[in-house]
Amino acid sequence: MNSDFPPSSGSVQWHLGPIIDALRTSRESTHNIRHQGRVRELPSRDVLTQVVNGVSAALFPTHYGRPDLNDESIDYFVGDTLNVTLDRLVEQVRRALRFSPQLEEDDEALLANRARAITHEFAASLPALRALLVSDVQAALAGDPAASSVAEIMLCYPGTIAILYHRLAHCLHRLGVPFLARLVADIGHSLTGIDIHPAATIGGSFFIDHGTGVVIGETAILGERVRLYQAVTLGAKRFPVDANGALVKGAPRHPIVEDDVVIYAGATILGRITVGAGSTIGGNVWLTQSVPPGSNVSQAQSRNT
C-alpha cells in the first residue's frame, strides 16, 4: 500500500490501498481540476453562513439576533457581533482572492492587506445596506394584503431572506470578491429556492411574493419598486460565443426591468430586452421582445413575441 496513511482495519477489509492510489493519480494528474493545478484553501460555506447570520443580527438585532435586547444592551451586542463576524469574513475574503486572476500570484501579505481593505469597505456599507433592506421590507408590507407586521415579513417570508442574501452578496461582488459572493448567493438559494446571481443589479423597495423558483440572471437590471411572484425567470435567450466557439463571459444577456413593474407567477422573460416602467406582465407569459412603459401583457398577447 503506497498511501501515506497507515493501514486500518477498514482499509484492509475493503482493500482500499489501490483505490486510494488511483484517486490520488486522478486528483493530481489525469483529472486534475484544481485552480491553476494547485491546492488552495477554499472559503468555507459553514463559516460564510455564520458571517451572514452575524451581519443579519447586526443589521436587525432583535429580529435576527436576540429578542431580549433593550436600549442599554443593543449597541454592545451589535459591536460584539460585528467584531466576531468581520474577523471571520476577512479570512474568507483572503481565501477567495486566491481565485481572482489578477491577484492569484500576490504574496500572502498583499492578499491579507487587500482582504482587510475589502472587509473595511463592506463594514462601512452596512448602514446603506440596512436602509435598502428596510425599503424592501416596507414594500412587502405595502404590497401583500396577507402581511400583518414587519416582524412576520422578516421572519416568515422567503423572499425577504433571499433579498437579504442578495444584498450582501451583491456588495461583496461589487467590492471584488465574486467567488465569495457566489457562495453567499448559493447559500441563500439553498435556503429559499430563489436563485439570484450576485451580479444582478436590483433597486430599492424590491418585493418577491411567495418566491419559490424565481431566477434572476447575472446581467439583469431591475429598477425601483419591482414586484415578482413565484417561478418568474429573468433569463438569457441565447449565449454569444467567440471565434473559437467559447462562451463570451459577462455579456449583457438578461432583461432590464424598469421602475414599478409587476411580473406575475410563471412568467419567463428572456434576453436583453426592456420591460418599460409601470408595466404588468401576466402569469405564464413568455416574453422575448421589449415592451413600452405602461404595457399590460397577457399570456395570449405574448404568444406572438
Number of H helices, E strands in the chain: 10, 14
- Is 213's pLDDT higher than 80? yes
User: Among 79, 91, 103, which residue's Cα sits nearest to residue 46?
Assistant: 91
Cα 249 to Cα 19: distance, rounded to the nearest angstrom: 38
Least confident of 36-50, 105-119, 129-143, 197-211: 36-50
pLDDT averaged over every residue in the chain: 91
Cα 240 to Cα 35: distance, rounded to the nearest angstrom: 25
CB 167 within 8 A of CB 204: no
- Residue 37's pLDDT is 52
CB 259 within 8 A of CB 224: yes
pLDDT in tens, 64-99: 999 999 999 999 999 999 999 999 999 999 999 988
pLDDT in tens, 34-66: 665 565 789 999 999 999 999 999 999 999 999
CB 222 within 8 A of CB 274: no
Between residues 67 and 278, the one the model is more confident about: 278
pLDDT in tens, 289-299: 999 999 999 98
- Cell readout for 291 is 415592451
Cα 266 to Cα 55: distance, rounded to the nearest angstrom: 32
Ordered structural domains, the chain, with CATH: 40-194 (1.10.3130.10), 213-305 (2.160.10.10)
**pLDDT bucket at 29, cuts 50 / 70 / 90:** confident
**pLDDT bucket at 305, cuts 50 / 70 / 90:** very low
Between residues 23 and 220, the one the model is more confident about: 220
Beta bridge partners of 274: 256
- Helix, strand, coil percentages (3-state) for the chain, rounded to 5, are 50, 10, 40
- Residue 202's pLDDT is 98
Element (H, E) at 270: strand 268-270
pLDDT in tens, 216-261: 999 999 999 999 999 999 999 987 777 887 888 888 999 999 999 9
Cα 182 to Cα 240: distance, rounded to the nearest angstrom: 22
- Is 105's pLDDT higher than 70? no
Which pairs with CB-CB distance under 8 Å and at least 24 residues apart come from 230-235?
Answer: 230/265, 230/266, 231/265, 231/266, 232/263, 232/264, 232/265, 232/266, 232/267, 232/268, 232/269, 233/267, 233/268, 233/269, 233/270, 234/269, 235/268, 235/269, 235/270
In the chain, % of residues over pLDDT 90: 75
- Residue 206's pLDDT is 98
CB 218 within 8 A of CB 200: yes
**pLDDT bucket at 304, cuts 50 / 70 / 90:** very low
> Cβ contacts of residue 163 below 8 Å, gap of 6+?
133, 136, 202, 206, 208
- Residue 9's pLDDT is 55
